[in-house]
């Protein structure tokens, strides 16, 4: 008997993905560079389904039915290239390699092009949901050729999360599109987490609530429009007490956030594409600031406002509104980046479908995504989610509270970079005139960079060093 699909790389993610496939009745070949992992998987979980263990790459490839479907779940970067180099010579035209790791989409584009030369389909698939998702149903974002999706889609959809019976897996687009969308998903995740962190911080230090009280606030929010996995786990973390000290868990954790790089990639890519994603950038920078221990130590005694608190009992409601409005901005910026990437690389990504496959399995799963799906259904080419009827109404209703929360944070000296930048983005989009006109004047003054006029076509330059007449250039 041959395996329908194979998984190589059996650390937490690969092992759980292989088990998920086996549990769904798909005979799965399993392989790992260090064979002990393969053995351990079959010994521990062999009863869950049909596993075909292989010690060598040759035996692994030979155990797959054709066209071969080979999923690799190894460390991103050089290990991914090493595994491709090992397997590609053993494959035949029509076979498929799926990279389920967190590869940079540019690497995926390079690998896809190289393997296409040999007739092998290379599918960069974003997989979100961590190890639990891999086992019980992740959100899967496969790129690569449409032809490869015909052969892989049914299997991947089968093991993905489902929401209302709809799989959280859809073909994203050619070559690196899947990894691109996974990258932006992670960027949005950074932004979402930062906004939640700021909400907590304001409730704690502006409204003087305890972590346990704030956990209750989040639990309440999780019954409404903010209902999501991240809000749910926030309540869990805030309600947790450290066993060793009896203190709130959140107070014994060092306040220096780490990162693995996908948030940074989202921002770097946005800069290359010229897409403003301030909310995501501030979230990445907020983690960066937190980690600069020496800088923070040196700055601790800088002057701030007198310590004060907010007595208003409706403050938590105001924070909920600020959070919802800022979250809409975060997603609007992320989807703008997806559309810009899609246009740049000719991927033709269906934004509504991306919102659909993020509804389950992944870290940013949320009720809210149904609204985004509906917004793209109503207008697939909308330049921004903010102008969707539902979202513009929601932000219109929230904006007073949103402004108050940002002002309160500024007045009390509590950093709220995510809320602030989201509001500034919103007001920038709304502005009838931006001071960019002045910027253009300065650029023309010092560098003769020229400007365009509101009343005539063409490029112009003012002779700033001479008689200040205007010349057309």
CA 402 to CA 9: how far, in whole Å? 46
Angle value at C-alpha 282, between 276 and 285, nearest 5 degrees: 125
- The count of chain residues that interact with ligand NBP, using the rule CB under 6 A, is 23
Least Å distance between CB 15 and ligand NBP? Answer: 7
By CB under 6 A, is residue 82 in contact with ligand NBP?
yes
Least Å distance between CB 470 and ligand NBP? Answer: 55
189 annotated active-site: yes
Least Å distance between CB 79 and ligand NBP? Answer: 3
Q: Tell me if 145 sits within 8 A of 174, measured CB to CB.
A: yes
Select the residue interacting with ligand NBP from 14, 142, 143, 174 (CB under 6 A).
14
- Interface with ligand NBP by CB under 6 A: which range of 29-37, 187-195, 316-324, 392-400? 29-37
Select the residue interacting with ligand NBP from 83, 202, 206, 362 (CB under 6 A).
83
By CB under 6 A, is residue 74 in contact with ligand NBP?
yes
Least Å distance between CB 83 and ligand NBP? Answer: 5
By CB under 6 A, is residue 314 in contact with ligand NBP?
no
- Interface with ligand NBP by CB under 6 A: which range of 72-80, 201-209, 282-290, 382-390? 72-80
43 annotated active-site: no
By CB under 6 A, is residue 12 in contact with ligand NBP?
yes
By CB under 6 A, is residue 420 in contact with ligand NBP?
no
Binding mask 95-124 for ligand NBP (x = CB under 6 A): -----xxx----------------------
By CB under 6 A, is residue 10 in contact with ligand NBP?
yes
**Interior/surface letters 410-424, b for 16+ CB within 10 angstroms, e for the rest:** eebebebbbbbbbbe
Least Å distance between CB 108 and ligand NBP? Answer: 12
By CB under 6 A, is residue 56 in contact with ligand NBP?
no
Which listed residue (112, 182, 320, 327) is catalytic? 182
Least Å distance between CB 376 and ligand NBP? Answer: 25
Q: Which residues are catalytic?
A: 182, 189
Residues forming contacts to ligand NBP in the complex (CB under 6 A) are: 9-14, 32-34, 37, 73-76, 79, 82-83, 100-102, 127, 130-131
């Amino acid at each position: 008997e041959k395996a329908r699909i194979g998984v190589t790389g059996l650390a937490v993610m690969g092992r759980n993905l292989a088990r998920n496939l086996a549990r769904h009745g798909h005979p799965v070949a399993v392989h790992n560079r260090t064979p002990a992992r393969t053995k351990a998987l079959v010994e521990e979980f062999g009863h869950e389904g049909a596993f075909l263990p292989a010690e060598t790459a040759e035996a692994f490839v030979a155990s797959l039915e054709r066209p071969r479907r080979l999923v690799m779940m190894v460390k991103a970067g050089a290990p991914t290239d090493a595994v491709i180099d090992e397997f590609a010579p053993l494959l035949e035209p029509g076979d498929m390699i799926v990279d389920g790791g967190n590869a940079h989409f540019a690497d995926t584009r390079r690998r896809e092009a190289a393997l296409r030369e040999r007739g092998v389909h290379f599918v960069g698939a974003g997989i979100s949901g961590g190890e639990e998702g891999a086992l019980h149903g992740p959100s899967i974002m496969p790129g690569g050729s449409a032809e490869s999706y015909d052969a892989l889609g049914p299997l991947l959809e089968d093991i993905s999360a489902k929401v209302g019976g709809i799989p959280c897996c859809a073909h994203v687009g050619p070559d690196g599109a899947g990894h691109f969308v996974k990258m932006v998903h992670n960027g949005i995740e950074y932004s979402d987490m930062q906004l939640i962190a700021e909400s907590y911080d304001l409730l704690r230090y502006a409204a003087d609530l305890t972590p346990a009280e704030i956990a209750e606030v989040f639990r309440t929010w999780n019954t409404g429009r903010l209902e999501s996995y991240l809000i749910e786990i926030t309540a869990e973390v805030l309600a947790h007490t450290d066993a060793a000290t009896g203190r709130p868990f959140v107070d014994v954790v060092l306040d220096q956030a780490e990162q693995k790089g996908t948030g940074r990639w989202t921002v770097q890519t946005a800069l290359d594409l010229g897409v403003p994603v301030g909310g995501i950038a501030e979230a990445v920078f907020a983690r960066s600031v937190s980690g600069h221990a020496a800088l923070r130590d040196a700055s601790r005694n800088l002057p701030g406002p007198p310590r004060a608190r907010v007595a208003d009992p409706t403050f938590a409601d105001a924070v909920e509104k600020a959070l919802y409005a800022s979250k809409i901005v975060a997603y609007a910026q992320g989807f703008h980046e997806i559309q810009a990437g899609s246009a740049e690389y000719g991927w033709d990504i269906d934004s509504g479908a991306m919102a659909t496959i993020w509804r389950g399995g992944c870290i940013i799963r949320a009720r809210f995504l149904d609204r985004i799906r509906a917004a793209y259904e109503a207008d697939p080419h909308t330049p921004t989610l903010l102008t969707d009827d539902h979202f513009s109404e929601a932000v219109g209703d929230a904006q007073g509270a949103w402004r108050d929360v940002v002002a309160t944070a500024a007045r009390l000296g509590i950093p709220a970079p995510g809320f602030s930048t989201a509001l500034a983005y919103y007001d920038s989009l709304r502005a009838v005139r931006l001071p960019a006109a002045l910027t253009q004047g300065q650029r023309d003054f010092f560098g003769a960079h020229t400007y365009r006029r509101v009343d005539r076509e063409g490029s112009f330059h003012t002779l700033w060093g001479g008689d200040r007449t205007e010349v057309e250039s």
